[in-house]
Amino acid sequence: MEKVWKFFKLQENNTTWTKELLAGATTFFAMVYIIFVNPQMLSQTGMPLGAVFLATIIATVIGTLIMGLFANVPYALAPGMGLNAFFTYTVVFALGFHWSEALALVFICGLINVLITVTKIRKSIVTAIPVSLQHAIGGGIGIFIAYIGFKNAGFLTFVADPGTWFEIPGGTAIIDSSIIPALTNFDSWGPVLALIGVIITIVLLLLKVKGAILIGIAAATLLGIPMGITSVAISGFDIATPFRELGTTFGAAFKGIGTIFSDPSKLPMAFLAIFAFSLTDTFDTIGTFVGTGRVSGIFSEEDLTSIQEGKGFKTKMEKALFADSIATSIGAVFGTSNTTTYIESAAGIEAGGRTGLTSVFTSIFFLLCILIAPIVGIVPAQATAPALIIVGIMMAGSLKDINWHDFEEAVPAFLAAILMALAYNISIGIAFGFIFYVLIKVITGKARMIHPILWVSSGLFLLYFLLMSLNAQGVI
């Protein structure tokens, strides 16, 4: 055991294995909700729920172990909120990719992020995107996730004027701008259950109860039984079923790569999706490291400087970024969206976690969750919706770092953040943010401030909108 303690440098980091165990458990309870939320999110694309459940755990365990053993830092990884929404609602539903093709894009994104990490390309990307837009993207994803939570909870109803909608093949209704969202009148048990779940989770968080989100999901699930929302009929479903289903998603990413690159018409949208995946994943991870690492002392100034200047694996930061990147590709192989470093790791750091041993303990706790596979399917959407709303609120906090008094900064930031939810599409928000940032800088005579990456990205987004318009008109 002494060799283990020396490997993690517990004494040098002024910690003990008991502190690391407590920190690992704290991080686990803060983020374990993802094993319920992620399968429900991705299964909407047609992926088997049991397979996504296992893929979520496997990606979390492997990614977190790599983080702990290779980088020796107390961070945990799991399929990212926001990234799974982008996977489902934008890449599959809006852009029309099959879920296996979406997994292929995630796999490629992971490889690109590895390349970004081991070269100085990372520096170019970090310096290219204005800080205000970085905050807007993070906050906008929070608003988008909360909106999904409101919808899944049944809190919203939508009314449209007569004769303002039509149906397209597949049974999807298209409604014009006359539609108006309104609050439900709570005349059914579904929204009531979700509201109770929201209240319970908020109260627990305010009281700083560890595992508040997980407890909220469990409480709502149990309360849903007498309400008739939670179905406990799991006969014929055993722990072997998810493993059988995993065969459907495992390796599907490679099949998806073949179908994408065999159809040239899919490539433009594929490149845009990969760009959006990589952009969101990169800044989400870097923001987590910078936000928690400086205060706790886990990362030194050399580590923080390496984000922009370094390459290779000379510092803990670079090793941590590599672990985050490689975990994304591993997760895609098993069948889940981008795996990223969780901000909930801050809970474990606050509890005293200082080394990778915290991550090892967290991964062990997640591995044990495989035993609850038979019951994951009974958790209703109304029980996980509160988690989406709460996580959305937390992510929206990054909007506070935008200088709203500077109109040049406020316009692109606002459009990026708000259009993610209104357009139900993360990439649309990013596109408008980029385009209007470039437009404003040109109008104000500050075109020299625009990074070439922003010029190219904005041009690609404009081309995307043009192609979508021509396609809608039947021109192409």
How large a percentage of the chain has pLDDT more than 90? 36
For residue 329, how far is the Cα from the chain centroid? Answer: 15
Q: Report the mean per-residue pLDDT for the chain.
A: 84
pLDDT class for 66, splitting at 50, 70, 90?
very high
Q: Which tops the pLDDT comparison, 275 or 360?
A: 360
Listed in sequence order, the DSSP H helices in 44-98 are 49-66, 83-85
Which of 77-86, 335-344, 376-385 is the least confident region? 376-385
Q: To which residue do tokens 């318009």 refer?
A: 469
Nearest to 161 by CA among 180, 189, 141, 186: 180
Contacts of 180 (CB under 8 A, 6+ apart): 158, 159, 160
pLDDT class for 85, splitting at 50, 70, 90?
confident
- Whether pTM > 0.85 for this model: the answer is no
Count Cβ atoms within 10 A of the Cβ of residue 145 and give its class: 0-12 exposed, 13-18 middle, 19 or more buried: buried
- Between the two ends of the chain, the Cα-to-Cα distance in Å is 66
What pLDDT score does 123 carry?
62
* The pLDDT of residue 211 is above 90: no
The three-state secondary structure class of 167 is strand
The secondary structure element, H or E, covering residue 206 is helix 189-206
What pLDDT score does 171 carry?
55
pLDDT digits (tens, 9 = 90+) for 401-458: 899 999 999 999 999 999 988 887 777 888 899 999 999 999 999 999 898 888 988 8
What pLDDT score does 172 carry?
57
- Strand pairing report for 339-341 and 165-168: unpaired
What pLDDT score does 320 carry?
87
What pLDDT score does 225 carry?
92
Domain boundaries, the chain: 2-472
What pLDDT score does 54 carry?
94
pLDDT digits (tens, 9 = 90+) for 126-157: 667 788 888 888 788 788 888 888 988 999 98
